[in-house]
Amino acid sequence: MADEPQRIKPEVNDLRVLIVDDEMYAVMGIKDAIDWQGLGVTDVCEAYNMREAVKILERQPVDVMICDIEMPKGTGIELLEWVNERSLRMETIFLTAHGDFRFMQRAIQLSSFDYIMKPVEFGVLEQTIRKALDTVQKKKAELALTEQYKPYYELWNKKKTLLSEKFWYDLLAERIVVGPGDEERLPAEYGIAMQADAKLLPVVVSVENWKRELSTRDEEVMEYAIRQSVSEMVVADSSGEVVQTKHGVTVALPYVSPDEEGTLREVVGERCGRYIEACSTYLNCSVSCYIGEPVLLRELTPMYKALLALEYNNLSESNQLNWLSKQEAEPAADPRLPDFGAWTLLLENGKAEELGARLNASLRELAADRRFGASVLQAYYLGFLQMVYYLLQKKGLSAYRLLQDAGVPAEASPRTLEQMEDWGIRIIRTVHRYLFQEESTIERLCAYISEHLAENITREMLAEHVYLNSAYLSRLFKKEKGMSITDYLLQERMRIARDLIESSTLPISDIAQSVGFSNFSYFAKMFKKVHNVNPQQLRKLSGCPG
């Protein structure tokens, strides 16, 4: 066995906190603002990236870790995964300044750590640290009773978790075959206690779409939250497992004892209904649950495949509870597709609105006929795509470059009728704009910004105005203007504010509101950042009364 770093053994009453943040002032602010002595903390460590934090955690135990999620050299999620892999006992409080993360507060509360938005309210943070330390003290007291068995327990607990996950992965991927008489023996070999006559009630949880644009780091956090919340709300107080396969499918597997078989199905259905509502409210995503039938372990893989097929063929219903037992016959194989030749003529002649209406009516007709499944949607999608490629080739335009530049890559095949309509409308508008509109997209955007400076302008609002993907719009804007949309908005607001302060008698507070700032102190701070002088000083220098 390789030598591991020697870790300092703490005194029984020692309490150590580790602050991890890539911003030095954030670390120093927390370190100076909290009454550590009043909390009973004897040592406060600081790290400015994951690597530094790992070195500290390898050298000495930590009771509470206060950690930023977004750091350039390893995220807070990656650091927590590293901690959990080594069975380090601590409580973690996450911090982040990400503006789109307000909906994450509830998601993190469903799991085993807490979550606080930046800028941090130190009073709230201190209360959270106190609760975390109380939890640590209770766990230390329990651990002291069995300290002599700790090395053996941690080793087995880590090995058991890895073995359990491997068993379910391999079973669902058909790398393990459960034969007669294996229902109890085989799981036991992987550290899983199951009775021979116990059944499982598989539930496939499908995240259909996120209502906000997520970065790769955001998705990591949300995948963790989805898995944890499925465990909390779907399996709940029943025995069972939650598996997230290597293909990204989340599967809940509540155990069903013989005396529960008549009631647990309804209970799990009610839990799934509440879970779907919670995801929409707190996680800002659309989720559907697909519930199978209670099966023995050897019957689980075919049931799992049936649920995947049910999800694949669900074209029109989202945020729904779907029971395998209530499904109709298999979808029909032959689709009824629109006349894409006629649609090509509409698009070629600039009839974008009429074509959009026909697309909507056609998809509504398809949604009304439940016999049609995913194979029909794929044929529809390919026919539509062929129509667009034909027209662009005829006009001498690069289909690949046009669609890529517009943020609608053709390889992103729609999975639902709703996605198909959204995808189709975006392509229709993009092609129409390239064929018939010569005005610069960024010029139109700047004109829109100029007319709406007093409003709360978001990137999503701007993207919707010019019918572009918001991420693509950001890249296009920076390429043409040499600055981000956020910086441009700030510069324009501060330019107009300066003109008004120097040339008018309007009160400065009114000027701040007229350029979109309801908070005067924040306006003054931004004004000085841009112009190196505060608004009041500029008014005095200009000689204008007011």
Most trustworthy range by pLDDT among 45-49, 294-298, 301-305, 330-334: 45-49
- Amino acid letter, residue 504: S
- Helices and strands (H and E) in the chain: how many: 23, 11
Q: What are phi and psi of 281, to 5 degrees?
A: -80, -45
Fold of 16-145: Rossmann fold (3.40.50)
Please state the CATH superfamily assignment of the domain spanning residues 159-326 in this structure.
Nucleotide cyclase, GGDEF domain (3.30.70.1230)
Instruction: Name the percent of the chain lying above pLDDT 90.
Output: 19
Report whether pLDDT(334) > 70.
no
Which CA distances in Å does 453 have to 469, 510, 512, 534? 22, 14, 11, 20
Report whether pLDDT(436) > 80.
no
Residue with tokens 């009073």: 123
Question: In sequence order, what are the beta bridge partners of 321?
Answer: 289
Q: Looking at per-residue confidence, does 386 or 100 come out higher? A: 386
pLDDT score for 159: 57
Predicted model pTM: 0.43
The CATH architecture assigned to 486-542 reads Orthogonal Bundle (1.10)
Report whether pLDDT(275) > 70.
yes
Rounded mean pLDDT of 101-116?
55
Q: Looking at per-residue confidence, does 228 or 47 come out higher? A: 47
pLDDT score for 56: 95
Q: How confident is the model at residue 335 (pLDDT cuts 50, 70, 90)?
A: low
Report whether pLDDT(15) > 80.
yes
Interatomic CA distance for residues 156 and 3, integer angstroms = 19
Q: How confident is the model at residue 130 (pLDDT cuts 50, 70, 90)?
A: very high
Instruction: Name the percent of the chain lying above pLDDT 70.
Output: 80
Interatomic CA distance for residues 294 and 263, integer angstroms = 11
What single string gives the DSSP state of each residue in 217-229? HHHHHHHHHHHHH
Q: How confident is the model at residue 17 (pLDDT cuts 50, 70, 90)?
A: very high
Q: Looking at per-residue confidence, does 413 or 358 come out higher? A: 358
Q: How confident is the model at residue 409 (pLDDT cuts 50, 70, 90)?
A: low
Report whether pLDDT(73) > 60.
yes
Most trustworthy range by pLDDT among 310-314, 404-408, 510-514: 510-514
Rounded mean pLDDT of 313-331?
73
Distance of CA 97 to the CA centre of its chain: 15
Question: In sequence order, what are the beta bridge partners of 64?
Answer: 17, 91
When computed from its CA atoms, the radius of gyration of the chain, rounded to whole angstroms, is: 29
pLDDT score for 282: 83
Most trustworthy range by pLDDT among 18-22, 192-196, 263-267: 18-22
pLDDT tens readout for residues 216-255: 667 777 878 888 888 889 988 888 888 887 667 889 999 8
Report whether pLDDT(349) > 70.
yes
Report whether pLDDT(398) > 90.
no
Q: Looking at per-residue confidence, does 477 or 439 come out higher? A: 477
pLDDT-wise least confident of 43-52, 142-151, 388-397, 461-470 = 142-151
pLDDT-wise least confident of 136-150, 268-282, 386-400, 401-415 = 401-415
Q: How confident is the model at residue 54 (pLDDT cuts 50, 70, 90)?
A: very high
Domain regions of the chain by residue span: 16-145, 159-326, 340-436, 486-542
Interatomic CA distance for residues 362 and 39, integer angstroms = 65
pLDDT-wise least confident of 268-282, 312-326, 485-499 = 312-326
CA-closest candidate to residue 485, choices 512, 513, 466: 466
pLDDT score for 10: 44
Chain-wide mean pLDDT for the chain?
Answer: 80
Report whether pLDDT(405) > 70.
no
pLDDT score for 103: 41
**Domain 159-326 identical in fold to domain 486-542:** no
